[in-house]
Amino acid sequence: VALNPALKGKPVIVGGRNGRGVVTSASYEARKYGVHSAMPGFQAKKLCPQGIFLPTRHGIYGEFSQEIFTILERYSPEVHAISIDEGVVDLTGTEKLFGPPDQTARKIIDQIRMELRLPASGGLSTNPVVAKIAATLSKPNGFLHVPAGSEEAFLSPLPVESIPGVGPKAQKELLQRGIRTVGELLKDPEQSRRFLHLNGGSREERSHDHSIGSETTMDAPVEERDEMEKVLWGLVEHVGRRLRTEGTYARSITLKIRYTNFATITRSCTLATPTRFDRQIFEVANGLLRENLSPGRAVRLLGVTASGLSSSGWQESLFGAQERRSWDELYQGIDRLRHKYGEKTIGVASPRIRTR
C-alpha cells in the first residue's frame, strides 16, 4: 500500500502465485477469508478467489527495513533487530532527551507511519519479551504500554501461544499438563524455565551462531544427477558470494535434500580449513550429495548452508596464507565481473569437480 495506494482496503495476497509456493503475507481484508502466511497458494486462491496476488519483492523489503531502523536509531543507540520489520529499542536513559518513554514510543511509531506510510504497532515494557507481546496484541496500528509492576497481571490471562517460541507443538504439550494461560504456566517452574525466558537475556539478545544458506524447490522433481549438480552450483555460488561480501569464512557445510514425499534429510561436514570459495564449497556439498542421495528417488528441493562462520579463519588455516590470498583475489575478480556484467558472465568451466 505504501507503494500503490490503490490497493488500500483490498484483499492483497503476497506470494503463492500459480498455486505453487506459499503465502508470504496477506492484508487484513484477505485474512478475513482465512488466508494467512505460510498457507499454500492454491488454498488461498480457493478461500479468496478475488484476492489480488502479488509476487514477493525482497529488495523493496530490505530498503524499507533500513528506513525503519534508521528511525529507531534516532532515539537510542541500543537497537536490536528481531527481524526485517521488528526491532527492540532500549529507551533506558532517554528521558532527558526525549521525555517519558511511552511518549517517545508513540512518537517512533507515528514517524514510521508518516514518513514511510507503513502501518506500525508497538509495545513498551520493562522487558523486551513483554514489549513484543504487547506490540503483537496492539496490532494493527496500535500501541500498548505495560507499566513496571503490572507485567504479571498483563501476562497471566494470555494464552501460552502468545509467548514467542511457543508454537503448536509446545501449546499441545502444555495443554496436556492442563496449562492454557501464561498465569498457569508461571505456577509450573520447570515449564516456565523451558518456555518463558524473561530473564537472563531475551531470545533475541542471546549470542547467535550465524549461518548463510540458500535452498530452492525445483519447478519439477529432478532425478538426473547432472541436473542436481547444476542446481547445486547455483546455490553454492549464491552462498559463496554472500560469504565473501560479508567477509566471513565457513567451517561447516550442510546439504539439504527433500524428496517428493517431503521427507527431508540434512548432512553436514566440518572442514579443517574454513572456506569462502565456490569450488571448495561445491566439492563438499557435492560429496555429501554423492554419499547420501537415495538412488532412483526424485528430489524436489536442494539446499546448501554455510555455518561456523568466522572472519578470521586464517590462524587455524592449513592453507598457506599466500595460496589463500590468491584464491581471495580470484574470487574478488569473479564477483566484480558478475556484478558488472550479470550473473551469467562467468562460471566454472565444468561443474564436474574431481575430489581427491
Binding DNA (rule: CB under 7 A), the pick from 7, 17, 33, 42 is 42
Sheet holding 12-15, edge to edge: 23-26, 12-15, 52-54
Binding positions for DNA, 78-117, rule CB under 7 A: 82-86
95 catalytically annotated: no
Residue 209: C-alpha distances to residues 79, 251, 312 (Å): 19, 12, 15
The reply on whether position 251 binds DNA by CB under 7 A is yes
Interface with DNA: number of residues (CB under 7 A): 59
Binding DNA (rule: CB under 7 A), the pick from 126, 127, 171, 192 is 171
Name beta bridge partners: 63: none
Name beta bridge partners: 269: 253
Binding DNA (rule: CB under 7 A), the pick from 270, 294, 326, 345 is 270
Binding DNA (rule: CB under 7 A), the pick from 1, 7, 22, 118 is 22
Binding DNA (rule: CB under 7 A), the pick from 203, 290, 336, 339 is 203
For the CB of residue 211, give the shortest distance to DNA in the complex, in Å: 3
For the CB of residue 28, give the shortest distance to DNA in the complex, in Å: 16
For the CB of residue 174, give the shortest distance to DNA in the complex, in Å: 9
Annotated catalytic residue within 63, 67, 78, 86 = 86
Binding DNA (rule: CB under 7 A), the pick from 100, 165, 247, 333 is 165
Binding DNA (rule: CB under 7 A), the pick from 242, 310, 317, 347 is 242
What's CA 12's distance to the chain center, in Å?
22
Q: Tell me the backbone φ, ψ of residue 24, rounded to 5 degrees.
A: -85, -40
For the CB of residue 110, give the shortest distance to DNA in the complex, in Å: 21
Binding pattern for the stretch 130-159 against DNA, x by CB under 7 A and - elsewhere: ------x-----------------------
For the CB of residue 10, give the shortest distance to DNA in the complex, in Å: 21
What is the b/e burial string over 224-244, where b = at least 16 CB atoms within 10 angstroms of the residue's CB?
eeeebbebbbbbbbbbbbebb
For the CB of residue 177, give the shortest distance to DNA in the complex, in Å: 14
Binding DNA (rule: CB under 7 A), the pick from 154, 308, 313, 334 is 308
Binding positions for DNA, 222-241, rule CB under 7 A: 238
| Residues at the site binding DNA, with contacts judged by CB under 7 A | 15, 19-22, 24, 37-38, 40, 42, 82-86, 136, 161, 164-171, 194, 197, 203, 206-217, 238, 242, 251-252, 254, 261-262, 264-270, 301, 303, 305, 307-308
Residues forming the active site: 86
